[in-house]
Structure 1
Amino acid sequence: MTEGDTYDILSEMFLTVLYGAAPVMIVALLVGLGIAFFQALTQIQEMTLTFVPKIAAIIITLLAATPFIYNVLLRFSDRIFDLIVSGGV
């Protein structure tokens, strides 16, 4: 196993983490921005208004995106296990 192979595995690992976390992070960002705009427009500064909708949106997104996250992780783990079996690691 060369340095190039190690670099390829590490870069694929980082991309896998980004792809797996992207749906939740994007929804959290959009909900947070929407709540911030709502609070700025109405001057309501309630602390629970920022947390409850964001947590609910994250939970719903996790439930909806679980098959996608599973497939992303499955592809990466299959590649790593194939490398281990073939003696490439």
Structure 2
Amino acid sequence: MTTGEIMDLLYRLFLMAVKIGGPIIIISMVVGVVISIVQAATQINEQTLTFVPKLIVIGVMLIVMGNSMLKSLQEFTLYVFGMIAG
């Protein structure tokens, strides 16, 4: 493999990581901010109040987007194996 091919592979790897992990992280952050605002407004300081909704939302996101995430990973794996094969 040449240096250019390795750089292309790393670029695709980072894009794949953002494509798969980005939506979950962004939704988790939004839920965390909303819960924090509610906690600040009501002065309820309970740690599990932020954990449980995030867990539920992440689970729902994985159920909804899991199929497309798996397909993306499969395509990337086939691409990498194709590069290894020649």
Partner of 1:62: 62
- Residues 41-76 of structure 1, C-alpha deviations (whole Å, 9 max, x = no match): 111111211111111111111111101211211221
User: TM-score, normalised to structure 2's length?
Assistant: 0.91
* Amino acid in structure 1 at the alignment position of 2:66: T
Q: Over aligned residue pairs, what C-alpha RMSD do you find? A: 1.1
Match of residue 39 from structure 1: 39
Q: Find the counterpart in structure 2 of residue 81 from structure 1.
A: 81
Q: What is residue 50 of structure 2 aligned with on the other side?
A: 50
Give the Å deviation of 1:32: 0.4
Tell me whether 32-41 or 74-83 shows the greater mean CA deviation: 74-83
Aligned equivalent of 2:18? 18
Query: Deviation at 1:84?
Result: 2.0
Q: Identify which of structures 1 and 2 has the higher relative contact order when contacts are C-alpha pairs closer than 8 Å and 6+ apart.
A: 1
Determine the C-alpha separation between the residues in 2 that align with 1:72 and 1:25: 18
- Amino acid of the structure 2 residue aligned with 1:38: V
- Structure 1 residue runs of 4 or more that deviate by more than 2 Å after TM superposition: none
**Under a length normalisation based on structure 1, what TM-score does the superposition of the two structures give?**
0.88
**CA distance in 2 between partners of 1:29 and 1:72 (Å):** 23
Equivalenced residues, count: 86
Structure 2 gaps, min length 5: none
